[in-house]
Structure 1
């Protein structure tokens, strides 16, 4: 009898979880540590399993366009042209603000280095080839920097982190803008490619003399030193939640929330910061989807921009400013199923 009761309870639990449903997402590695925590907590709270694959923003945008996932993660908003390729209207909501940092591997150097946008651009253009180059030395007087050759690490996949980094470089270096430009995937002048933020961090960690751009949490998790970066006001700022959040302060959020916050005019902001986005369809009735699935997604998205925000700061992401959170909630409220809001 006891076994029968236990079996019935187990089946009821499975049935309940099935009723709650499961969601799939794919895309940016930039927010992957945050989403892993969020989705684990959400499963505990709501009984919904969210399977998120960290495959890069470019792949995430492709998968949501092809409707093979419920939502995509991307550190850069999709362009107008990219959204035209989708079969219906796509929406963006920001979920966090993160910082991209220049991490490096220089044995014996314990003082955090300083970088300007021009120096970072020249390193990634292949113009600065050794760590003791006079341009780096001039920014770091008194620091003994070894004459190691610089190994440039960069992304090999379509990457929102690449978009953010190159968006910043295009704003501070006319040469970078004209020769390389901004994008998820670039024609890199130099460098060793790796997949994901974790891949770039791995190259830096294992290669003396390497430099790589990664989201802040990946530098911290891998115990990689990272430099401060000069902002538009001329201050050298070390990435942290506060300075990253200040990059969005005073920014007018457009109705669709698609906005760049790199090279912010805020005098205390960190200059290589970005919102990270979730992308989904406004009309949720497609490809055999049910109203229940649409409701499950809507509840998750609402939770991410409200209750779920408490997980941002402990994982080195900044919470959404009030104006961004308000816009996100308004966008979520515009979701429809068979043409009707739900």
Structure 2
């Protein structure tokens, strides 16, 4: 083989190797919350057109945090801010920031119940199993079939956190967490799993991200702290999120916000990134996260059933992304 041929072969192999390395650097792997999954998938689809690919696995907040702590992903996603004990296990440092807001609907499938309105006490009593029939709600007839999450879920944390704020009885008997011991009901995995069970089960009621309310599934109007019955949507979610004050780790919550227009169960969702140890992927991770916070992504939030970030929360998130380093 001539020197020229060898040089061409080695040059081709080197180019292929460089191309593979560049491809690896422009592909990210993330895992976590199902709550924001439709928003993330739409945004990452738009990002792919710029040359950056993101493989996002909607496995639930609990699994997402575990994978992030274990270092098996480029970023994690959670609907409950990471706990200090979990963050302490991450030697590479944690950069946590909100990416979008949303409302958690009390969702139901009951054709003869057109406009369900629930007081906070009624909402609690349904999931405690105290209210057992639709007759008790004066909205149709027959037994109520409760549906809840079966996996570790930030959506469950936000939902049960609000039920605890609504009711001392719920707080003492069940409490709040990514997983709880449900007094009644059957489980579904992920928001999509709960939506599937509700859609296929007449007379059922459960909780899920407003983005999953479609088809046979309707959202109940829930009484807020001011005594008004409000539906989960952009306006009521934005009114509620305006009450959230973030701490130094950009974590914050208000499980029963004030305001006549506020929907009571509204929450942010967070990305977990590494502050260091990202190597050549650091710039790609920053690019992807900045895209989530860009108008190109945030302007799609409402159409997908989410509440876009604005003002101080959006500015704080963008500042946090700048801390993601090599």
Normalised by the length of structure 2, the TM-score is: 0.90
CA 1:321–1:266 in structure 2 vs 1: closer, same or farther (change >3 Å)? farther
Could you tell me which residue of structure 2 aligns to residue 216 of structure 1?
210
Could you tell me which residue of structure 1 aligns to residue 316 of structure 2?
327
Instruction: Give the match's secondary structure for 1:153.
Output: strand
Could you tell me which residue of structure 2 aligns to residue 206 of structure 1?
200
Could you tell me which residue of structure 2 aligns to residue 35 of structure 1?
40
Could you tell me which residue of structure 2 aligns to residue 196 of structure 1?
190
Instruction: Give the match's secondary structure for 1:271.
Output: coil
Could you tell me which residue of structure 2 aligns to residue 280 of structure 1?
273
Matches of 2:22 and 2:86 in 1, distance apart?
Answer: 36
Q: Does 1:336 align with 2:325?
A: yes
Gapped runs of 5+ residues in structure 2?
1-11
CA 1:132–1:17 in structure 2 vs 1: closer, same or farther (change >3 Å)? farther
Task: Return the offset for 1:34.
Answer: 0.6
Instruction: Give the match's secondary structure for 2:218.
Output: coil
Range with bigger deviation, 155-164 or 18-27: 18-27
Matches of 2:243 and 2:209 in 1, distance apart?
Answer: 23
Could you tell me which residue of structure 2 aligns to residue 294 of structure 1?
282
Task: Return the offset for 1:250.
Answer: 4.3
Alignment of 1:49-64 (within 5 A): 49-64=53-68
Q: Does 1:265 align with 2:258?
A: yes
Could you tell me which residue of structure 2 aligns to residue 314 of structure 1?
303
Matches of 2:248 and 2:294 in 1, distance apart?
Answer: 19
Q: Does 1:71 align with 2:75?
A: yes
Instruction: Give the match's secondary structure for 1:61.
Output: helix
Count the aligned residue pairs. 311
Task: Return the offset for 1:330.
Answer: 1.5
**Could you report, residue by residue, the CA deviation over 1:163-184 in whole angstroms, capped at 9, with x for unpaired residues?**
1100100101101101111100
Matches of 1:151 and 1:331 in 2, distance apart?
Answer: 43
Contact in 1 for aligned 2:245/2:253 (Cα 8 Å): no
Gapped runs of 5+ residues in structure 1?
1-7, 138-144, 338-342
Task: Return the offset for 1:83.
Answer: 2.0
Superposed CA RMSD in Å reads 2.0
